[in-house]
Structure 1
Amino acid sequence: MIPVSHPFLPPKDEYDQLLSKLWESKWLTNNGVFVQQLERLLEDYLRVPSLHYVSNGTIALQLAIKALGLKNEIITTPFSFVATTTSILWEQCTPIFVDIDPKTLCIDANQIEVAITEKTEAILATHVYGIPCDVEKIEEIANRYHLKVIYDAAHSFGVQYKGRSIVSYGDLSTLSFHATKLYHTIEGGAVINNSGQHLDEQITQLRSFGFVGENYYSAGINGKNSEFHAAMGLCNLKYIDVIIENRKKRTREYDELLDGKLGRILIPENTHYNYSYYPVLFRSEEELLATQWKLKKNNIDTRRYFYPSLNKLPYVAKDDSCPISEDISKRILCLPLHDGVKEEDIIRISALITEKETLSIF
C-alpha cells in the first residue's frame, strides 16, 4: 500500500539520545527543557516574535480564540479541515462562512466585507494546502472594521510570502505538528503571537489551567505538550529543509506527468512554498470517485481533503451558501506525497489516473 501520507522519522539513535536525557532528568512535561528549546528554535526558524508550543493544532485554534476574548461572530472559510469550524463552535462563537477563491481555494477576501455585521469580531482564515490567503486585503479590512485576524496555518510550516514567514501575518497564527504534517512532533501544535506581551501572558496562562505559580487568573485548559513530543520536534527540525526539497521534487514529477490532465491550484507570486500536499481537481465527483476506487484497488491511498464543505456540516446552525466551496470539495483529491513516495510510484500513480477508461481528459 502506498499511503497518502506517512510521518518522517529521524535516525532512531538521535531520538534515543534525547530520551536518555529524559530518563536521567525525569522532567517529562510541564514546560521542560526540550519544550523551551524547541520554542526558541522554532521562533528562529520561522522568524516570529513569540511561539507557544501546545498539545495539538485544534487546541492552538481554541487558545487563539480564547486569548483574543472572542464571543460572537467569526468570519471563516468553508474549505478547511473540520477543526477550523469546530474550534469556533467549541468556544461558543458563531462561524459565518464566506466562499473561497476558485484559484487558490483560500477564503475570497473580496467577499468578506459583505459578511460583516455589528456582531462580527474576527476573521479566521486558512492558508489552504499552505497557499497564502490574500493577507494584504484581509489586513486592510480588519483594520478598517477593527477586527481581529487569526490564520489557521496548519499546512503552512516553512511557507514565506513576500519574504516574510506566512505565520507572521495576523494577530495570531496557529500551526499543527500532527504526524501527517511535513514537520511533526508526533502530536503537537503552536500559537504564534504577533501582537505583543499581553497576549503572550494570556496564552501562557490559558495553556496551563489559567494559573501562574499558585495564583489562578483565568479558566484555562491543559494545552501543554510533553518532553517526548518536543524531543521528536528537535530531531525533525534538523531535516525540514531536506523534507521540503524532496516534496518539491516529487511535486514536479507529478506536474510533468499530469500536465494539462487535471486541475491544479494557483500558488500566488512571491510565495516560497512548502509542497505540503498534492491536490488535484477532477471535472466531476463521478470522475473523482472512479479514480479513487481504481487507485485503492491498486493499493494506492488518496484522501478527499477537504470534503464536505464545512458550511454543510450537520451541526452548523447557519447554512451559508458557498457554491464554489461546495463544488470544489466534491471534485478535489489529494494524491500521495511524502518522503516514502519514490519516482516509480509517481509514474505508476499518474499512469493509472490518466488511463482513458478512468478519466476523460479535459
Structure 2
Amino acid sequence: MSLVNRFLKPTKLVVPVSVKGVWKQTRNRSLVEVWIFLLLSLPVSAFVGESASFPRLLSELRMTSKSEQPLSLGIISFDLDDTLFSTNAVIRDANQAMLEKMRRHGVHVQEEDFMDVTRHIRRSMDGPITYTSLRKMTIAQILSMTNVSSKEDCDALVDECFDVWLHERHRAAERHLFPQTLNCLSTLKEMYPDVCFAAITNGRGNPLYMPTLANFFDFCVSGEDDGVFPERKPAPGIYEASLSKYKDLYPHHDHDSRIWIHVGDCLVNDVGASANVGAYAVWLSGQADAVVPKWSTATTSEQNARQLKEEDGREKIAVRISCLSELPAAVLDLVGGAMQPVPLNSLS
C-alpha cells in the first residue's frame, strides 16, 4: 500500500469557510449569493454521512460556474517548533550542550539560573530583540562575572557557546521529531511533487540544516532574517517574505490559480497570522503543552495579549487536526474545496 493510500483516511474537519468567510474572501457578491442558493437547494444527505465533505462540496459548486478556474495547491508552509518536533525537548538538549561548553571553560551555571538572567535582560528592554542577540547577551553577562582574561576572549567564547547551542538545536530537533512527521511529509511530497514546501519560524531552527528534513523543504524563512526582523510572527511581514520567495522559486506556477496552506500549532502566530495574509490555516492542536514553556522569555503583558488574540485565531481555522497523520487527507479536502488563490499579485 502506498504512503498516499495509507494516509488518506477520513479526517475531522471544521468548516474551512463559513458563509461569513465566503463573503469576506470572495470579491463577487453575486457569486456568493449563487453559492448560498445552491447550498440551500441541496439535500440533507449532502451534508451528513461519512462521505460528506464540505470542502469537496464547495469545489463541485464552484465548477458549476464556467468562469471559475479550478484552483490547485501552490505552497504549503509549516511552523517548526511544536509542529514538527517537541520544542521543550530540543531547547533542553541545546541548553545542556551550551552549559557543558561553559563548564569546560570554568563557568558553572544551572539552566534555570541562565533562564532567569535571560528573562531579566529581556524585560529590561523596551524594543524588540532577536533571540540570537538575547542569548548572546545572556552568555556575555554570565561570563563577565568570571575570570575571562579579556573582552576579546569573552566575545570569542560567547560566539563559541552560541554555535554549540545552535548546532545541538538542529541535531536535537531530528531526535525529537514527532512520530508522524516524516511519514506525513513523505506522503505530501508524493501527492504534490510540484508544490513548494516552506518552513516559517520565529526562531533559529532551520530544516535545511537537518539532514532528516532537508530534502522536503525548498526554503526556510526566520523571524531573525535580514529584511524580516522585527516583522516576525504574528506580524504579516514574515509571511509576505515567504510568499515572495515562493513566487521567485516557482515562476512557472500560475499564481492566480494556486492556493496556500499553512500548518502550525499556535492559534496566534500560525492560524490567525497566516489567515490574515490569505492562507488556509491548519491548526495542529494536539502536539504542544498548554502551559507557558520554561524557556519562554515573553513578558506577562505579552502572554496576556496573546490569550486575547487566540479567540480571533479560532475563528480563522480552516481545518483542525490532532496529529500530523491527519494532515494529508485534510490538505486533499482543502484543495478540493478551495476558493481563495494565493494573494501574490498584491506583493511587490
TM over 0.5: no
- TM-score, normalised on structure 1? 0.24
| Structure with the largest fraction of helix | 2
Bigger Rg over Cα: 2
| Structure with the largest fraction of strand | 1
Greater relative contact order (Cα < 8 A, sep 6+): 2
